[in-house]
């Protein structure tokens, strides 16, 4: 498979898994891109990591010298994909609307938060790892929201099928998934960080996709819309205080473990579609777990 075809498959399956109800406008994901490399390069052996920066690219170059390597794939965005991070946050408007928050309210809160994220990202040195990939002449790309969309869909289906009754049941369900079982071994497994584990779970909102954390002022609106439990990858201290005020339960599934789940599901889809098995080297927090 060529690099451009691999990337196009990422976009295709990311779009299929996207939680937005109207997908007609989804042509690409601003936080995912081919960051360096010949689009026509053949891809068979890839190194995949959650964060790929200069150190990981130097490691990739060493592996390439010893045993060959075609492509390095990051999850988190760098370069132009990082500067596009705030743009994918619009996805969250749909999720809030589906949860019962008024559309105009969701738009207002998300627009404000998007500008905040844009301001935070703008002054940073975005091209460091991209420059390293160019100097090493090694193909380099990332896939962020397309992978996160797969986490959302997977967990959405799981909760619909199994219908957890108590907050602690959410944690038990997550621990049936290999990626979260692996995290548990490193003491980073799923846990309840707010609310009584014996409390009724009620209506769940999944915070698994949409670039990064949304507005910290939305939680009281979610409570009024009937949401009682958040299942999130992570939650900042600033957001945590607001969630506590809104009297919501919070289950942290885990950041890196959730990223692992999304990447594995996405690679499975690409392999099945292409009828090609890639040789995958995991690094930087990623472990390849295949599903049948």
Strand 140-142 to strand 227-232: parallel, antiparallel, or no bridges (unpaired)? unpaired
- What the chain holds in terms of domains, given with CATH numbers, is 3-144+257-283 (no CATH), 150-254 (3.40.1390.30)
Nearest to 252 by CA among 150, 180, 186, 185: 180
Report the C-alpha gap between 286 and 216 in whole angstroms. Answer: 29
Tens digit of each residue's pLDDT, the chain (292 residues): 999 999 999 999 999 999 999 999 899 999 999 999 999 999 999 999 999 999 999 999 999 999 999 999 999 999 999 999 999 999 999 999 999 999 999 999 999 999 999 999 999 999 999 999 999 999 999 999 999 999 999 999 999 999 999 999 999 999 999 999 999 999 999 999 999 999 999 999 999 999 999 999 999 999 999 999 999 999 999 999 999 999 999 999 999 999 999 999 999 999 999 999 999 999 999 999 999 7
Contact 191, 165 (CB under 8 A): no
- Report how far apart the first and last C-alpha atoms of the chain are (Å, whole number): 21
Burial per residue of 256-283, b for 16 or more beta-carbon CB atoms within 10 angstroms, e otherwise: bbbbbbbbbbbbbbbbeeeeeebebbbb
Nearest to 35 by CA among 81, 3, 75: 81
Q: Under a CB-based contact definition with an 8 Å cutoff, are residues 102 and 222 in contact?
A: no
The per-residue b/e assignment along 149-165, b for 16 or more CB within 10 angstroms, e otherwise, is bbbbbbbbebbeeeebe
Q: CA triplet 287, 163, 217: central angle to 5 degrees? A: 75
Report yes or no on whether pTM surpasses 0.85: yes
């Amino acid at each position: 498979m060529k690099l451009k075809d691999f990337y196009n498959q990422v976009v295709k399956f990311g779009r299929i898994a996207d939680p937005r109800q109207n997908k007609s406008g989804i042509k690409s994901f601003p936080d995912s891109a081919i960051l360096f490399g010949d689009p026509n390069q053949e891809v068979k052996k890839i190194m995949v990591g959650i964060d790929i920066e200069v150190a990981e690219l130097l490691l990739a170059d060493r592996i390439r010298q010893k045993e060959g390597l075609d492509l390095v794939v990051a999850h988190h965005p760098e370069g132009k994909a990082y500067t596009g991070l705030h743009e994918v946050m619009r996805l969250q408007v749909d999720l809030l609307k589906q949860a019962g928050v008024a559309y105009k309210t969701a738009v207002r809160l998300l627009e404000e938060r998007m500008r905040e994220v844009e301001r935070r990202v703008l002054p940073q040195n975005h091209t460091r790892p991209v420059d390293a990939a160019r100097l090493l002449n090694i193909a380099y790309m990332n896939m962020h929201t397309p992978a996160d969309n797969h986490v959302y869909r997977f967990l959405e289906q799981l909760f619909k099928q199994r219908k957890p009754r108590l907050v602690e049941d959410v944690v038990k369900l997550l621990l049936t998934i290999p990626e979260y079982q692996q995290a548990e071994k490193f003491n980073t497994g799923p846990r309840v960080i707010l609310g009584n584990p014996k409390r009724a779970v009620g209506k769940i909102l999944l915070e698994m996709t949409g670039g990064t954390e949304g507005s910290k002022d939305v939680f009281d609106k979610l409570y009024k819309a009937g949401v009682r439990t958040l299942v999130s990858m992570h939650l900042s201290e600033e957001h945590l205080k607001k969630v506590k005020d809104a009297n919501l339960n919070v289950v942290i599934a885990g950041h890196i473990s959730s990223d692992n789940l999304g990447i594995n599901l996405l690679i499975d889809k690409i392999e099945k579609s292409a009828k090609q098995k890639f040789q995958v080297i995991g690094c930087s927090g990623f472990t390849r777990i295949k599903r049948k």
